[in-house]
Each structure stands twice: as structure tokens, then as C-alpha cells.
Amino acid sequence: MTPSSAPPQAGQSEFDRGTAVTAVPAAPGRYAAQLHGGWRIGGGINGGLLLALAGRALSAELRPHRDPFSITAHYLSASLPGPAEIRTEVLKRGRTLSTATAAVVQTDQAGSERERLRALATYGELDALDGEVRTTAEPPRLPAPEQCISSTHAPAEFRARADLLERLDLRLDPSCVGWALGRPSGRGVIQGWLRLADGHEPDPLMLLFAVDALPPTTFDRGLPGWTPTLELTVHVRARPAKGWLRVRHETKNHAGGLLEEDAVIWDESGRLVAQSRQLAKTPTP
Amino acid sequence: MTPSSAPPQAGQSEFDRGTAVTAVPAAPGRYAAQLHGGWRIGGGINGGLLLALAGRALSAELRPHRDPFSITAHYLSASLPGPAEIRTEVLKRGRTLSTATAAVVQTDQAGSERERLRALATYGELDALDGEVRTTAEPPRLPAPEQCISSTHAPAEFRARADLLERLDLRLDPSCVGWALGRPSGRGVIQGWLRLADGHEPDPLMLLFAVDALPPTTFDRGLPGWTPTLELTVHVRARPAKGWLRVRHETKNHAGGLLEEDAVIWDESGRLVAQSRQLAKTPTP
């Protein structure tokens, strides 16, 4: 079940650069960032990447509580490539946990500030948790990565609107890619192996991105188009081991033009490392 | 499967009074409230009741978007009976959706303000959603309410620390109550029928309370003690029909002293009306 590890690390990763933040001098709690077009999907920057960006600012602000235990973002407007500022507010600094908010703000062409997302999160130190695990959860059953379908084989018109696929080594379970050939399974499941294309190993902040990096489950239901995320919540349950991540997305309830998308991520050591749920809009034909 | 409806409504319910808010004059976005001891569980006021309180202030502030589509709260300190203020901040007023934050604040005996929780939510109008439902979710399978175990039969020492049980008509599935007799099933599941003891019918804000009103799943794992909620997120997916609510709580992953608790609520019409997840601390023996 456990394939070999990813290539060794080679300095700072594309993901680290794509979510880099710099403290703004003389402005406590504020961080500057650049949103890169290479993380676009559909009309804007990927929501998981933005969550990881806000998450990195919070990690800096809440030191030594550097790991997101639970983080929620509500998406307010589409983010565009260019400068952004992350404004944090610390609500509580506790002994083992700290809680804060973060707003990602961009300035539009007319000079008006536009809030892109608001996040609310509780941070701690994953390595300080005790090692006990009692779980009845089971990892997604996947064919080996070499038997899965690489996203490099995605249809050209899909890749053209999904720059972020270039950043990923994504191998989808063949049972979940029928939609690419006009034969969706109808189950509402998308699952596969994921790692960063540049070989950088996963870490807790990368998991915030990984829960939103696969094609939407609506494709597997035969619904083309994009599913804008209204809200995304991620629980990071353990620091991920090196190597491939097993990611499964599932939607059960489409109702009234909205759907939930649940994701789980397991690492190569066979540990459940993240759980997430988002509320999104059903694509309009 | 569908039992008869609850008794007819009789004016304002205990739940409505317990979550009532009043706009503070000349203080835009601020609401005053009284936290009642009758909603205590363990050492403080029940977390779901507090979420519903913040939710009611947001419902007033975001009119005509009065229904919580997605709401998250992070709990910062234990709430006590007495006065509280809910401070809202609107982040976006859209055509069909609005997003805002709410802080529940109390003043301690020394005169210092203590934030109890911070919420972040997106509201809309459930009745304005289109009626399409495509779901693969299945309602919890429960014996009829009269074959379930009423919470009025809970152990006395449990009831003594759970005033809120007096507010509920809760009938637990007999397969989930072995813990009360020292024989927990070990599955991590608690499910049953729920309605308000005073016969008031469910509404969207009541669902915010209902997702956190059952005994914790840790009891069914044989872990006594309270499980403090760090974070709770609720998606309200439809306005509930009159009558009983079917509520199922399940925990799969205990790890590092933390656990997720997922809840689903189905109404008497057989519709999935709410999904929630919380991150909580494992009880310390």
C-alpha cells in the first residue's frame, strides 16, 4: 500500500514561495504577500492556496503555536495575481493553544481595498501532542500511483484554466476520472495521490492547500463548471510524513444549489493528517 | 419511520428566551443578552446554545439574510450565567449572501472584559434556495421514539451537571446508552430523537444548538468526563419541518488528545437539515 518516498527536498519550494509572507515594518500583525498567477484555477487564485497564505501569516503571528489545529475561511471576493496584505488579530494566547483572525486584503484598480477572505483559527504545536491514536477511520483505497491517471493527461481546455496543476504531481484514481471522457461515475467522489511537483515534502500548511487542490466532486456527478467555495474548514490532526498524500474528496448532499465537499488526507505512514469540509455553490450550467 | 408531530407551539419558547438578543441603543452592531443557568452543561453554558445566541444576533444584523448557511465558532473561555454582549462586524452584504463576525463578551468580577467565543458566518435565506435535492446521504436508523431511552432516565449525577437536559425531550437509541450502565459500545456513536421539551418547533437557529446537545461520543468510547469544544462549524442545509429531529453524532479519530465530532440532523420530512463538525479535547481522566 505504501509507495516509495518523493524525491529529496531542494531548497525552498514553489509552495513556500507562493505562500510567503513578510512582516510589514511598524504595522503589528500585518504581513505582505504576492499572489502568483501560477496558482490560478478558474477565475481566481485557488482557495486552498489562499487559506495556506493566511495560515502562514497566522503561524508567524502566533509563534510558538505554529500549527493550524482548526482553521476556517469565508471567501468574500475573487483574489487576483498581485500584492496582498494579511491583517491578523490575536484573540487569545493560551498555554497550549492560541486563537486569531486573519483578513486577506487586496487593493483594486480604483484604489479601493477589497477583502478576499476572512479566516478564524486556533493554533498549537502538533509535535507537543501526545502520541496516542485511537481511530476507526480507514484510509482511501487507491491503486498504486503508477496505476493512477496523472493530471498531466487532463484535457487541454481544463489545464488552460488550471495553472495550479503545473505545481502538482497528482495521480487520480482511474475510477474517478470518467468525467474527463464524458462518463462520470455519479458517485461524487474524487480521490488520488498528491505531492508537490517540485518534490518538496508536505507540512501542516501545505495540507491547507491540499484539501482544495483536486478537481471538484461535481465533475464526478456530471456537473461541469466551477464550484465557488463559500467556506472551508480544515482540521490538521498530525504532522504529515514525507512522501505521497492520499486525498479523498466526497460530496453527499447537493441541495438548493449548495453542496458540502468533505476531504480526508492520509500520509505515507498511514496516519490521518487532515480532515476538511467546505460549503460550495453548485455550478450553474 | 416518521412519528407523529410534536405538540403545537405555545408562544415564545424556552429556547427563544435563552437566545434572545436586544439591540444596544446607539451602538451599531451590538446586542445585549442574558445567559441563563438553565443551559449549563459541565462547568459552563452549552457551546451550541452560545452559537445559537451569536447566530441570533447575526440574523438580526444581516437581515434580510436571516438564516445561517455556514457558521463557525472558536471557544475562548467558559461562559457563565449573567449578562453578555454580542458584537457583530459585517464583512460583506451581497445580493444573496452576507458574511459577518460576532464576538460574545462578558465582564468578569474584576470588571475586565472576557471574550467567550468568536464566530464567523455566512447567511442567506433558506426559503430562497431552489428546491432541488440530490443526495446520497441516508438518515440515521433509529427505533421509534417510544422505544428509545428518554434523557429523564439519565443517571442523577449526570443530570446534576447538565441543567440543559431539562430543556430537551431527548430519546437516545438504546444501542448508544450502554455507557450509562458501564457498558459503552466502543463505536463512538450517539444518536437519538430530539425536540424541545416545551414543544416549540425546530427552526434554523435551533439547529445550531441541536448539533451540540447530545451526550459526547466519548461516553460511547468509555471515556467519562467532559469534552471541551475548541471549534464548532455548522452548515444549515434546509429549514426543518415540524416535529422530531433525528440527530447522529459520530467520532472516528481520537489522536493526540483531540477528536472530531461530526453531527447530522434530519427532520421529520426526511430531509438532511444540518451537518456539523467540532474539534474537541479528549477528556482527561
H-helix segments, A137-280: 156-159, 204-210, 217-220
Contact A69 B279 (CB under 8 A): yes
Contact A254 B133 (CB under 8 A): yes
Q: Which residue, chain included where needed, has cell 496582498?
A: A84
Which chain B residues are within 8 Å of A92, Cβ to Cβ? 76-77, 115
Q: How far is B233 from chain A (nearest CA, A)?
A: 8
CA distances from A59 to A54, A88, A259 (A): 9, 10, 30
What is the per-residue pLDDT across B195-225, written as a single tens digit (0 to 9) for each?
Answer: 999 989 999 999 999 999 999 999 999 998 8
Mean pLDDT (whole number) for B261-271 = 97
| CB-based contact A46:A206 (threshold 8 Å) | no
Q: How far is B116 from chain A (nearest CA, A)?
A: 10
Residue B2 in this model has a pLDDT that exceeds 50: no
Q: How far is A58 from chain B (nearest CA, A)?
A: 15
At residue A155, the pLDDT reads 73
Q: Helix (H, G, I), strand (E, B), or coil: what is residue A6?
A: coil
| CB-based contact A116:A77 (threshold 8 Å) | yes
How many helices (H) and strands (E) would you count in chain A?
Answer: 5, 17
Mean pLDDT (whole number) for A24-44 = 92
What is the percentage of chain A residues whose pLDDT exceeds 90? 81
Q: Which residue, chain included where needed, has cell 448557511?
A: B69
CA distances from B120 to A173, B54, B98, B163, B212 (A): 35, 10, 11, 28, 18
At residue B11, the pLDDT reads 55
Residue A120: CB atoms within 10 Å: 28
Q: Long-range contact list for A91-94, CB < 8 A, 24+ apart?
A: A91/B74, A91/B76, A91/B115, A91/B118, A92/B76, A92/B77, A92/B115, A93/A62, A93/A65
CB-nearest partner of B253 from A69, A231, A237: A237
At residue B156, the pLDDT reads 76
Contact B221 A70 (CB under 8 A): no
Lowest mean pLDDT of A92-96, A162-166, B212-216, B230-234, name the range: A162-166
At residue A148, the pLDDT reads 96
Which chain B residues are within 8 Å of A235, Cβ to Cβ? 260, 277, 279
Contact A132 B254 (CB under 8 A): yes
Q: How far is A240 from chain B (nearest CA, A)?
A: 14
Residue type, position A49, single letter = L
Contact B126 A76 (CB under 8 A): no
Cell numbers given for A165: 496543476
Nearest to B271 by CA among B126, B84, B77: B126
Question: Can you give the pTM of this predicted structure?
Answer: 0.94
Name B71's Cβ contacts closer than 8 Å, sequence gap at least 6.
B51, B54, B55, B58, B119, B120, B121, B122, B208, B233, B234
CB-nearest partner of B230 from A122, A130, A254: A122
What is the percentage of chain A residues whose pLDDT exceeds 70? 96
Contact A258 B69 (CB under 8 A): yes
Mean pLDDT (whole number) for A164-169 = 89
Residue B195: CB atoms within 10 Å: 24
Which chain B residues are within 8 Å of A260, Cβ to Cβ? 235, 237, 275
Nearest to B30 by CA among B10, B13, B54: B54
At residue A4, the pLDDT reads 39
Interface contacts A/B by beta carbons within 8 Å: 159
Q: How far is A83 from chain B (nearest CA, A)?
A: 21
| CB-based contact A215:A222 (threshold 8 Å) | no
Quick one: pLDDT band at residue A40, thresholds 50, 70, 90?
confident
Residue B135: CB atoms within 10 Å: 15
| CB-based contact B23:B30 (threshold 8 Å) | yes
Name B113's Cβ contacts closer than 8 Å, sequence gap at least 6.
B105, B106, B107
What is the per-residue pLDDT across B54-108, written as a single tens digit (0 to 9) for each?
Answer: 999 999 999 999 999 999 999 999 999 999 999 999 999 999 999 999 999 999 9
CB-nearest partner of B135 from A97, A135, A253: A253
